[in-house]
Amino acid sequence: DQQVKQNSPSLSVQEGRISILNCDYTNSMFDYFLWYKKYPAEGPTFLISISSIKDKNEDGRFTVFLNKSAKHLSLHIVPSQPGDSAVYFCAASARAAGNKLTFGGGTRVLVKP
Amino acid sequence: EAGVAQSPRYKIIEKRQSVAFWCNPISGHATLYWYQQILGQGPKLLIQFQNNGVVDDSQLPKDRFSAERLKGVDSTLKIQPAKLEDSAVYLCASSQTPVGAKNIQYFGAGTRLSVL
């Protein structure tokens, strides 16, 4: 039972354009959501997060949007840069479940110069 | 600030052998996690420690996997005996004690295990 799903395994985008990564979840108890970025041979690196009481959080080129009614979140990267090429994981946690993270399967992003 | 340290980075063993991984979390982080990441999938939690006590080990295959966190700092994860399906990257993460819903975990580089 996959509680967090990233339905696009890969995404290719031109440098300078917007990258949009999507994530869907099924557990309505989730109250905190995170995006991690992973380069080959490295561990995931925290990128940005959002609490369920908000619908948007912005940090520089990265913005996360949360639609609770649709159980959907997205990550926007504007403008995309070649260094953004990596695998991106969304993750969710529930305070009621001890804040443990449940990860999606990841989306591989390739930003072409 | 030093990050999460893991060793070894790579390990190749034959099935039925045993293996151990080590993790040193970020200083001051009370919570430590071990994840298994199989190729093409997201990390899956194996065990969570709060200081030196186990909070959640529901996903740990206890017939072959064990973990400990003595003195509430470093941790080791052991597999004995290993199976072919244990081939994966084993990630260690740590976090400060969660405040409300917020829980940002910081990951080490992982140990890539190949079981032949």
Q: pLDDT tens for residues B79-112?
A: 999 999 999 999 999 998 777 778 899 999 999 9
- Provide the CA B97 distance to its chain's centre, in angstroms: 18
Question: Could you please report the per-residue DSSP string of B27-50?
Answer: TT--EEEEEEE-TTS--EEEEEEE
pLDDT for the residue A32:
94
- pLDDT tens digits, A57-112: 999 999 999 999 999 999 999 999 999 999 999 999 998 888 889 999 999 999 99
DSSP code for B102: B
pLDDT tens readout for residues B67-78: 999 888 999 999
Q: What are phi and psi of A78, to 5 degrees?
A: -140, 125
Judge whether B53 is closer than 8 Å to chain A, CB to CB.
no
What DSSP letter does each residue of A7-62 carry, written as one string?
A: --SEEEEETTS-EEEEEEE--TT--EEEEEEE-TTS--EEEEEEETT-SEEEETTE
pLDDT digits (tens, 9 = 90+) for A17-66: 999 999 999 999 999 999 999 999 899 999 999 999 999 999 999 999 99
Of the partner residues A4, A45, A95, the one whose CB lies closest to the CB of residue B100: A95
**Predicted local distance difference test score (pLDDT) of residue A1:** 66
DSSP SS3 for A83: helix
> Which chain A residues are within 8 Å of B110, Cβ to Cβ?
42-43
Strand B111-115, strand B10-13: pairing:
parallel
Cβ A101–B106 below 8 Å, yes or no?
no
- B47 in contact with A at a CB cutoff of 8 Å? no
Q: Alpha carbon of B19 to those of A43, B22, B63, B65, B69: distances in Å?
A: 20, 10, 14, 10, 17
Rounded to 5°, the CA angle A17-A23-A25 comes to: 165
> B42: which chain A residues are within 8 Å (Cβ-Cβ)?
4, 89, 91, 103-106
Residue with tokens 């925290």: A46
Is A17 in contact with A84 (CB distance < 8 Å)? no
* Spatial distance between the Cα atoms of A23 and A74, rounded to a whole number of angstroms: 6
Q: How many CB atoms lie within 10 A of CB A12?
A: 11
Q: In terms of residues, how long is chain B?
A: 116
Give the residue from B82, B59, B38 showing the smallest Cα distance to A105: B38
Query: Given A32, A43, A44, which is nearest B103 (Cβ)?
Result: A32
Percent of chain A topping pLDDT 70 = 99
The answer to whether the Cβ–Cβ distance between B42 and A100 falls below 8 Å is: no
Q: What is the least distance, in Å, from the CA of B92 to any CA of chain A?
A: 9
